[in-house]
Amino acid sequence: MSEIKDKSDKQTLGFEAETKQVLNMMINSLYSNKEIFLRELISNASDAADKLRFAALSNESLYEGDGDLKIRISIDKDARTLTISDNGIGMVADEVKKNIGTIAHSGTKKFFESLTGDEGKDSQMIGQFGVGFYSSFIVADKVTMVTRKAGEDKASAVRWESAGEGEYTIETVEKATRGTDITLHLKEDESEFLESHRIQSVVRKFSEHLDIPILMENEYKDEEKEDEPDDITVNSSTALWTKSKNELKEEDYNDFYKQTSNDYQDPLAHTHSKVEGTNEYTLLLYVPSKAPFDMWDREATSGVKLYVKRTFIMEGGELMPRYLRFIKGVIDSDSLPLNVSRELLQQSKQIDKLKAGAVKKILSLIEGLSKNHPEKFETLWKEFGAVLKEGPIEDVKNKDRIAKLLRFASTKTEGKQTVTLPSYIENMAEGQDTIYYLTGGAYATVKNSPHLEVFKK
């Protein structure tokens, strides 16, 4: 980091070369969806709150009499600014220079490195995202940050500002409350982010399940009503999957499914489990009771959403094989490796293990329906049987397991696909050592095929 000029307390400093490269990527092409800047800033604010919670376990005075942690989003249409504020841990000047001015450092990563043993599990933080702050420059031509670390003097706050063009200013200011305010001076063509409904939509899309309230001004407040709140909490949902199964009823699972899948019908079945170890994750996956309209669209993504510590990352086919594309639900990981934009999963053993674990859970669920709930399995097969038949070809590792779930019609079932391969073998005629099969678009077509005449004699 090179100092360019120093006048009184205010300094103008240059970004390091790596930081300039990242800024250039951010501004021009890094993210495919510019609204992700808000997800990044909210996630950072949530991290700051989690760090304060953890630090306050051994020093409660850090709360400064205010233990009500929250994130606030404010819009100023006249000034064309969008401000994201938190009352989390905050930063001192050296931390700002290190974590904001130098791309190689991540405050959250450094914090994780200082923890050992069970302390790491107790800290609810999203690590590995060292560049999210710079996504602000996707929509802003100037960013101002004012931050004060919890427990520090009010006059020791830091003001950081940059236009993202290679340098930034930093100075000491006063800030009455702890935490961080990040103000984005929006570009002329980014006016959509000055609309409250647009911001609320983005928050609900990416940060609905964070365990910290995200507040905005109640712009529809009725001044004549004394009990009308000044603020609204945008993220109103609960991360159901983080709760113990003992706390939940079938109705809770069904309501959550309907809320998140836009399906008005109850699901056919679900599986909910937490996997612990070096690759920790929680999954809540559903088998719908009706096939989705786009099940045969090869471009359609799966209905499984990936979260990292309750922050939405993506929804797509990387999480489920194609033959299970009808599965819906959530996988929430503590430490999946992600690329710099959080949008494309890196190919890694962790991801392979997560995907393999999720597939095993689903196959176990379907096997359970086959053995214990034949009526539900019949519904499943009617809706998704044709898709499951893709499994043995696509998933070589599980082909034998999938094959036992498959059902077929025979000359004795009048068109119903109820025969399993093991049951057919068990009922083969004495001396029969071959299984003959025909494929076709409809049972009637196959049944009347001339190829079957030889077997009717």
How many residues does this entry show for the chain?
A: 457
pLDDT above 90 covers what percent of the chain? Answer: 48
Kindly report, residue by residue over 99-151, the tens digit of the pLDDT. Answer: 776 554 443 344 344 444 443 333 333 233 346 788 888 899 999 999 999 99
- Where is 46: in which H helix or E strand? helix 36-56
Provide the residue ranges of all domains of the chain, joining segments of one domain with +: 2-219, 240-387, 407-456
- Highest mean pLDDT of the ranges 109-118, 161-170, 233-242, 267-276: 267-276
Angle, helices 374-388 vs 349-372, to 10°: value is 140
The pLDDT of residue 25 is: 62
Single-letter amino acid code for the residue at 213:
P
3-state SS class at 359: helix
R_g of the chain computed on alpha carbons: 28
Tell me what the pLDDT averaged over the chain comes to: 83
Range in 170-184, 288-302, 368-382, 414-428 with the lowest mean pLDDT? 288-302
Q: Give 219's DSSP letter.
A: T
Long-range Cβ pairs for the range 187-190 (8 Å, 24+): 187/139, 187/140, 187/141, 190/34, 190/139, 190/140
Residue 59 one-letter amino acid: N
Percent pLDDT > 70 in the chain is 83
Question: DSSP for 373-425?
Answer: -HHHHHHHHHHHHHHHTTHHHH-GGGHHHHHTT--B--TTTTT---B-HHHHH
Residue 21 has a pLDDT of 64
Classify domain 240-387 at the CATH topology level: Ribosomal Protein S5; domain 2 (3.30.230)
Q: Rounded distance, CA 454 to CA 232, Å?
A: 75
On the question of pLDDT at 194 being above 50, the answer is yes
Which of 3.30.1360.170, 3.30.565.10, 3.40.50.150, 1.10.10.10 is the CATH number of 2-219?
3.30.565.10
Is the pLDDT at 202 greater than 90, yes or no?
yes
Q: Angle CA(149)–CA(65)–CA(74) in degrees, nearest 5? A: 60
Tell me which amino acid residue 403 is: A
Q: Contact at 8 Å (CB) between 309 and 125?
A: yes
Say which residue, 384 or 449, is predicted with more confidence: 384
Residue 7's beta-bridge partner residues?
10
Alpha-carbon span 417 to 188, nearest angstrom: 61
pLDDT digits (tens, 9 = 90+) for 373-411: 999 999 999 999 999 999 999 999 999 999 999 999 888
Nearest to residue 322, comparing CAs of 270, 370, 359? Answer: 359
DSSP secondary structure of 274-338: EE-SSS-EEEEEEE-SS--TTTT-TTPPPEEEEEETTEEEEESGGGS-GGGTT-EEEEEESS--B
Q: Partners of 303 in the beta sheet? A: 328
Q: Which helix (H) or strand (E) holds 147?
A: strand 140-148
CA 404 vs CA 63, 235, 413, 418: distances in Å: 58, 43, 18, 12
